[in-house]
Chain A
């Protein structure tokens, strides 16, 4: 056991032991342990295998970047062992092994590494013939974890939240920022991805309890402040426009909108690069400190500290305090700056060697760290030959530099500048409302970080509209936290830069040699930074290597794009319910009761047909159509757009938006209306009814209702005509009573004169039906005598019931959209957006009669004048299949082929009981549009079906059905 006595800020609950299994063996940890810390405390240093060479790996960062210590936990794959808390009963296995961690069959890939050079994917796939072979192999050996397809479907709720100031990161600078912003009056939210707040303020101590006290005090104040909410175990996943930040916790995503955002996300410690720097036992200095102060785990018995900054010296002191021996501090800098930290170490007898580095690390029989070879390096980082000396140790702490956790700053559009003293990118110009403080802002001294936090907090509060006074200056850093060249060359390589993708220094040299000498190209060719940790511990070193190889400065090399999300987010957090509206007509309940099968029609749910037990869909549809033709039936057309325009210039307005003339209509008349867009393309259609001198009531297509109303409103603002527009789509219910018996049915419910003389075809009348005030139009979309009856929505169901009852003796029934489609097809009526598309002009569909080019203006007129002069490119025609067509029937969108070329397509097709054949509408070349022209339709399987152009309407071409029979 390597468990230490209780630490003041440890995350452990020592009263609770947690039993779990890893790789088939039983382990015990304490509640609060991460999986990795529990294993480490139990002496299990090998915790996973690397991605490419299957090398054993242990803890590297203990900060959610240890992608080689990912585990499968039942259906949960790729669990980050370095941060996920261990739970009772977990049964864990390392991902990415063949046959277990210890005896991974793929471990021999390590020895074959020279046959797997950088970019080997691209090279392998170069040969077309071998492509399938490689693909099969790569698919087998790549990928992490195993998906369990029986994983339950989880719906996670989303949450929306607001605050004045959002602080990302609850380390010393973030806590200080939150406090000053809150003191200025702002409501503040502080989030931190760790299970507990405090950040590096509670573990980068150098065995100095006073240092810890700063953060403890800040944390107490933050927790007690009424205007601050502290969210632990919650990370900011991304930055989106206008300070919109998804906050991710274990259970959900919260969409946070803040007036100001402070990024206090700190920095990632970067691994140093030397041969075998990946052996279990070698880790970042900050990882050792996390183990000690969070989990009370002694990281090793004897350590070598590789340092290039004051942080490394603190790690050495922390290790000593934890009871570990420090065999040596190897400082990569040419000389050791005088400091109390160095003095304290020397006083404890620790040897500090300036201008030294680790040349290589050595493994024991299990592949874990057993010792290192140290060496001297010259001013440019080259190994001084003959200076090597071996040191036994079971731990190496790497403390040679940091990289800012600037992902969200980049996403926000921050311009970053490389600071030569700090050897770090720092914000140069922040976007409006975004602030940075602490290490991510290039401020490393603890006292300075707190001051910097206060500065950012005040600035953020001021941006959110709070009054603040005074200004705070942050003293400049004097010591570089990062070494410019934390890399030691070795002829045998295995000096890893990217632990996710097993990339060594030579991979970068080779990539640059092959010409991938731009950071973006280098990334894609070498895959650096493309693993699960997204380059958090590798991009900066890769950039340094590229800069050195190409003789550029890091500023010139630049960084790659940092995309959302910050960490991999479970898909269950992202997936959710759609928020697209779904509309039900006021008669929806009636349809459901009648067995309607609903279909989606834009936002509406409409009855496709009404199912009758024991009857097929097609039989139901044909029966509904037969009822319309022979008796009477009722369809809900309440989904139509229903608009009213009032005012002296209402007629003029309609003249401008539709292609026809409306100002000359008589009160009580209706007229068909076609709308075009500016390019002359047919965009909508409907019926205009003049219900009074200055009042027109008109319909639009169901799908076009919202956009037509919106656009007409805009035009009304632009044109400033003396009229006003009202959208009655939802306020009115509408149904069409159609069939030879419709007049007889309606007569029972109204005392209006329904004779042809008083209420002719295409007239509109107001009156009462079943005691309900109604507007009625005699229209014939389905080709039968019929009435479209519009009533206030709340009376819809009453009217429906009344009509159904009145029609009982006439054999009334409901009919759905499919039957209506068939019936209108028999009449040759087109449906906009089914029989037309985004390029159709009125002339192509035979609507020349509806286009009044002699009007002074209407939308699309100028374009139609041009189109008119040009020959037609296609024409919508009626067609029918052969009399005894058997076999497959063409579908909408099947192509019409002539001489091997596409000559058109089917837009509608259906079996017509009246014609006794399949009939349809189709676009064809104008040369094929003569009645009687034979053509061929190609089916999906390539076979051809014969068809013939014919006149429309297919049914009742002279509208005899609209004439009074009596």
Chain B
């Protein structure tokens, strides 16, 4: 079982975490076309590489960002939202 490091609670087994999805910028809802919006809502990029994702340590309900290399199956770093310095 993989390990994940919560910025608040430290390194814990992956079963304590929930994955939410990649952080993707939404197009401007007021100006984008329907097709652009549909692309945003329905299409995900599954290509391997470094992804920035939302993760939650569920017992403590701590949300944070994980940078994950999906090609090497490795978590590069984790930090709270806004702490990306």
Within 8 A of A (CB), among B18-77: 18, 20, 29, 32, 34, 37-38, 41-42, 54, 56, 58, 61, 63, 73
- Quick check: is A717 within 8 A (CB to CB) of the other chain? yes
Task: Please tell me if the beta carbons of A710 and B1 are within 8 angstroms of each other in the complex.
Answer: no
Task: Please tell me if the beta carbons of A710 and B56 are within 8 angstroms of each other in the complex.
Answer: yes
- Per-residue B-contact encoding for A796-817, CB less than 8 Å = 1, 0 else: 0000000000000000000000
- Quick check: is A411 within 8 A (CB to CB) of the other chain? no
Task: Please tell me if the beta carbons of B1 and A717 are within 8 angstroms of each other in the complex.
Answer: no
CB neighbours of A717 from chain B (8 A): 63, 81
- For the complex, give the distance between the alpha carbons of A711 and B20 in Å: 9
Task: Please tell me if the beta carbons of B41 and A678 are within 8 angstroms of each other in the complex.
Answer: yes
CB neighbours of A714 from chain B (8 A): 20, 54, 56, 63
Task: Please tell me if the beta carbons of B1 and A713 are within 8 angstroms of each other in the complex.
Answer: no
- For the complex, give the distance between the alpha carbons of A861 and B58 in Å: 28
**Residue tally, chain B, CB below 8 Å to A:** 19
CB neighbours of B8 from chain A (8 A): none
7 A-B pairs with the lowest CB-CB distances in the bound complex, closest first: A862-B29, A241-B2, A242-B3, A714-B63, A679-B41, A866-B34, A244-B1
Task: Please tell me if the beta carbons of B2 and A242 are within 8 angstroms of each other in the complex.
Answer: yes
A interface residue count range (under 10 / 10 to 19 / 20 to 34 / 35 or more): 10 to 19
The residue on B at minimum CB distance from A857 is: B29
- Quick check: is A863 within 8 A (CB to CB) of the other chain? yes
- Quick check: is A240 within 8 A (CB to CB) of the other chain? yes
Task: Please tell me if the beta carbons of B63 and A240 are within 8 angstroms of each other in the complex.
Answer: no
Within 8 A of B (CB), among A86-134: none
Given contacts A242-B3, A857-B29, A862-B29, whether A710 and B58 have CB atoms under 8 Å apart is yes
In angstroms, how far is the closest chain B Cβ from the Cβ of A857?
Answer: 7
CB neighbours of B61 from chain A (8 A): 709-710, 713, 727
CB neighbours of B81 from chain A (8 A): 717-718
CB neighbours of B1 from chain A (8 A): 240-242, 244
CB neighbours of B3 from chain A (8 A): 241-242
12 contacts between A and B (CB under 8 A): A240-B1, A241-B1, A242-B1, A242-B2, A244-B1, A679-B42, A710-B56, A710-B61, A713-B61, A862-B32, A862-B37, A866-B38
The residue on B at minimum CB distance from A861 is: B29
A contact face: mostly helix, strand, loop, or mixed: helix
- Per-residue A-contact encoding for B1-21, CB less than 8 Å = 1, 0 else: 111000000000000001010
- For the complex, give the distance between the alpha carbons of A240 and B20 in Å: 23
Task: Please tell me if the beta carbons of A863 and B41 are within 8 angstroms of each other in the complex.
Answer: yes
Between B41, B56, B81, the greatest number of chain A beta carbons within 10 A of the residue's beta carbon is seen for B41
The residue on A at minimum CB distance from B28 is: A862
CB neighbours of A861 from chain B (8 A): 29
The residue on B at minimum CB distance from A679 is: B41
CB neighbours of A244 from chain B (8 A): 1-2
- For the complex, give the distance between the alpha carbons of A591 and B2 in Å: 41
Within 8 A of B (CB), among A643-676: none
CB neighbours of A678 from chain B (8 A): 41
Given contacts A241-B1, A679-B41, A863-B37, whether A713 and B63 have CB atoms under 8 Å apart is yes
Within 8 A of B (CB), among A293-321: none
The residue on A at minimum CB distance from B15 is: A579
- For the complex, give the distance between the alpha carbons of A718 and B61 in Å: 14
CB neighbours of B2 from chain A (8 A): 241-242, 244
CB neighbours of A711 from chain B (8 A): 20
- For the complex, give the distance between the alpha carbons of A862 and B29 in Å: 6
In angstroms, how far is the closest chain B Cβ from the Cβ of A386?
Answer: 59
In angstroms, how far is the closest chain A Cβ from the Cβ of B7?
Answer: 12
Between A713, A714, A857, the greatest number of chain B beta carbons within 10 A of the residue's beta carbon is seen for A714
- Per-residue B-contact encoding for A828-869, CB less than 8 Å = 1, 0 else: 000000000000000000000000000001000111001000
- For the complex, give the distance between the alpha carbons of A391 and B42 in Å: 75
- For the complex, give the distance between the alpha carbons of A241 and B14 in Å: 10
- Per-residue B-contact encoding for A862-884, CB less than 8 Å = 1, 0 else: 11001000000000000000000
- Per-residue B-contact encoding for A773-803, CB less than 8 Å = 1, 0 else: 0000000000000000000000000000000
The residue on B at minimum CB distance from A720 is: B82
- For the complex, give the distance between the alpha carbons of A242 and B63 in Å: 22
CB neighbours of B32 from chain A (8 A): 862
CB neighbours of B34 from chain A (8 A): 866
